[in-house]
Amino acid sequence: MKALAPLLSTTLTRRELELARALRERLPEAMDTHATRAFERRFENWLGHGHARAFMGGRAALAMAIRALDLGDNAGVIVPGFTCQCVLNALAFAGAKAQYADIEHTSLGLDVDAVRAAITPGTRAVMVQHSFGLVGRDFEAILQLAHERGLKVIEDCAHALGARHRGLPLGAYGDVAVYSFERSKVLTTIHGGVALANDAEAAQRLCALAEAAPLPAADEIDAQLVSVMHDYWVRASGDAAGAERARALWGERVLPQMWPEEFGISVPPRYGQRMPSAIARLADAQLDRLDAVLARRRAQTAYWQHWASKRGIGYFDAIDGSEPAWLRFPLWVDPALKADRHALENALGVEVGVWFTTPAHPVARTEAHCPRGMDACQRIVNLPTLLPASHPHAAA
């Protein structure tokens, strides 16, 4: 059977492969934060606002952003009923409490009326999640509501690096924002992320938290560099023989997408760790190609929209004034197809994603007061927006 076009690690190129190899050879020299600070300054300049600090994951960055907003002591943070366990963990590990609110079906963002109904005396913030890189239908209304109620806004841009709204990059609107470079994101370093603070007090706290954060052990970073090399060959290269060699050489050292502790109650060490120069160098190399990657994702989205329209399959489009990142192309399907998507995968020759299967994906959870979120968990699948040029469904 022919290999399916992958969802993960598709932005890795020979450049990252060679860089990872070179960094492994001189790893002790790359276990500082000199390149990290340079990357953070570049990130700030690219966005045109805020104070950026890089950590060992988007979820780690979210935990740090919550701490920077001083949202401990069980402070309530409204989250969409269509999210992942990593978000809930980041809140809990930082001392905050998730309060679910339902989503809208136009663009899978928080519904402003549901947010209004979810506010309690203990609510101190709302987390706006830009799912699949889309801007939510009620984004502006939620910003206004948060301002009126004195709530902090956390922008979850894990899916939305490079997306814009009304001419501004996503992340510019919140008091804080977070970005991810995990395997499944717009760009990847396997694990890694950035917390951004626009609020002055939060920026001071974020910088202090980053300054105090320890670096990972060198052997952990070596395993991450090995994972870059493995994923290039196995997922991005299109070279079957190279993929087989990579599996044999490095398969046992590849890092997981989620750590075992994330399914329990203990805090994984990476939630408190700073990104070292070795990983920042990879992030810098990936950022060089962001515009080209976004252009490809948007072209592929246009192809999938035409494909879905011809078949009467429900899909999504950008709201007025927005330029989504289109990390994935979400579709509405029957629950039975989502439960057994292999026929669709084989028909299209692509891996089909299932974000999200529950309001705490992939952990089982029911939120009955979020019926639209629960419906999306049953019916939303997603297609890759980066395909090999030779793929029969690749955009021209």
- Enter the tokens of residue 249: 């050489």
128 and 156 in contact (C-beta within 8 Å)? yes
Catalytic residues: 185
- Domain ranges for the chain, please list them: 14-212, 291-384
Average pLDDT over residues 11-22: 99
Q: Which fold has domain 291-384?
A: Aspartate Aminotransferase, domain 1 (3.90.1150)
For the cut 90, the answer to whether the pLDDT of residue 148 exceeds it is: yes
The model's pLDDT over 283-342, given as tens digits with 9 standing for 90+, comes to 999 999 999 999 999 999 999 999 999 999 999 999 999 999 999 999 999 999 999 999
- Asked if residue 1 has pLDDT above 70, the reply is no
Cα separation, 60 vs 64, whole angstroms: 6
Q: Give every CB contact of residue 161 below 8 A, 6+ residues apart in sequence.
A: 133, 179, 180, 185, 186, 187, 290, 325
Q: In what order do the strands lie in the sheet with 328-332?
A: 314-315, 328-332, 380-384
Which residue's structure tokens are 């019926």?
371
pLDDT attached to residue 191: 98
Supply the CATH classification number for the domain 14-212. 3.40.640.10
Contact 18, 162 (CB under 8 A): no
Mean pLDDT, to the nearest integer, of 194-199? 98
Strand ranges across the sheet with 168-169: 168-169, 164-165, 322-323
> Who's near 390: CB < 8 A, 6+ residues apart?
238
What lies within 8 Å, CB to CB, of 373 at 6+ separation is 80, 81, 82, 100, 102, 103, 359, 367
% of the chain exceeding 70 in pLDDT: 99
Q: Which amino acid is at 171?
A: G
Q: What is the pLDDT of residues 225-274, one digit of tens each?
A: 999 999 999 999 999 999 999 999 999 999 999 888 888 778 888 888 99
* Res 227: pLDDT: 99
CB atoms under 10 Å from CB of 181, counted, come to 28
Residue-wise pLDDT tens digits, 99-112: 999 999 999 999 99
User: What pLDDT is recorded for position 269?
Assistant: 86
pLDDT at position 263: 84
What are the C-alpha distances in Å from 5 to residues 10, 255, 394?
Answer: 9, 21, 10
Task: Summarize pLDDT for 153-194 with one digit per residue, the tens.
Answer: 999 999 999 999 999 999 999 999 999 999 999 999 999 999
Task: Report pTM.
Answer: 0.97
The helix (H) or strand (E) run that includes residue 343 is helix 342-348
What pLDDT sits at residue 262? 84
- β-pair type (328-332, 314-315): antiparallel
